Amino acid sequence: MALEHAILVSLLEKPGSGYELARRFERSIGYFWTASHQQIYRVLKRMESDGWVDVRDVPQQGRPDKKEYSVAALGRDALAGWLHEPIQPESVRHDLAVKIRGAAFDDPAALIREVERHRQAHTERLAHYLAGQARDFPESRSPGTDACTGPGSDPHPVALPSPPDAGRELQHVVLRGGIAYERMMLDWLDDVLATLRRLGSAR
């Protein structure tokens, strides 16, 4: 389980209400972990009773009051503990792969539309990630593998990434992972489409 830890990370990056957390889970954090507001409120309540987070009532004008959550000492400890214990590499769950193998007992061509829909969704996500990267990390160029970030790309050789910049760097490497994932998926879905079309035209 990591939802509570994801919430701790998000609240450490910036305190906020359950509603705000829910919106973050549709955006940045949601790139690699999803959660609905119902889930968040439920877990937040448990975390509060466990003393992992502090709550503060924030009256607002022009909109409903909110509860602002921030990480307490116990929460920090819990996060540190989790960070230091090993987790096992997650197992994959691909509905689409099940469908593709199932298509052998149905009409493979009938899946083409579905795969195209998924391809479209991944294209949009990739564009979204790339836009985020261009906005938040404008220093990263080269749409390629990013492998050759040699010297000279930095305009003025300021200090090496100091602790305050670590969070930014880490957010960026996670985002690069999302980008790599979407690119891989697009390539594979093209492979799938080619295979389905080949099978369809062969009969």
Partner DNA sequence: ACTCACATGTAACGGGTTACATGATTGA
Partner DNA sequence: TCAATCATGTAACCCGTTACATGTGAGT
150-179: contacts with a second copy (CB under 8 A)? 160-163, 166-167, 169-174, 176-178
Nearest-approach distance from CB 192 to a second copy, in angstroms: 5
The rounded radius of gyration (Å) of the Cα atoms in the chain is 22
Q: Interaction with a second copy in 179-198: which residues (CB under 8 A)?
A: 180-181, 183-184, 187-188, 191-192, 195, 198
Residue 19 contacts which entry, a second copy, DNA, none (Cβ below 5-8 A, type-dependent): DNA
The residue within the footprint of a second copy, chosen from 49, 63, 87, 135 (CB under 8 A), is 87
The alpha carbon of 127 is separated from its chain's Cα centroid by a whole number of angstroms, namely 14
Interface with a second copy, residue 23, by CB under 8 A = no
Euclidean distance between the first and final Cα of the chain, in Å? 47
Contact between 75 and 47 under an 8 Å Cβ cutoff? The reply is yes
Distance (Å, whole) CA 7 – CA 13: 10
Nearest-approach distance from CB 92 to a second copy, in angstroms: 5
The residue within the footprint of a second copy, chosen from 58, 121, 127, 131 (CB under 8 A), is 121
Is residue 196 classed as helix, strand or coil in its secondary structure?
helix
Residue 169 contacts which entry, DNA, a second copy, none (Cβ below 5-8 A, type-dependent): a second copy
Number of C-beta neighbours around residue 192 at 10 A: 21
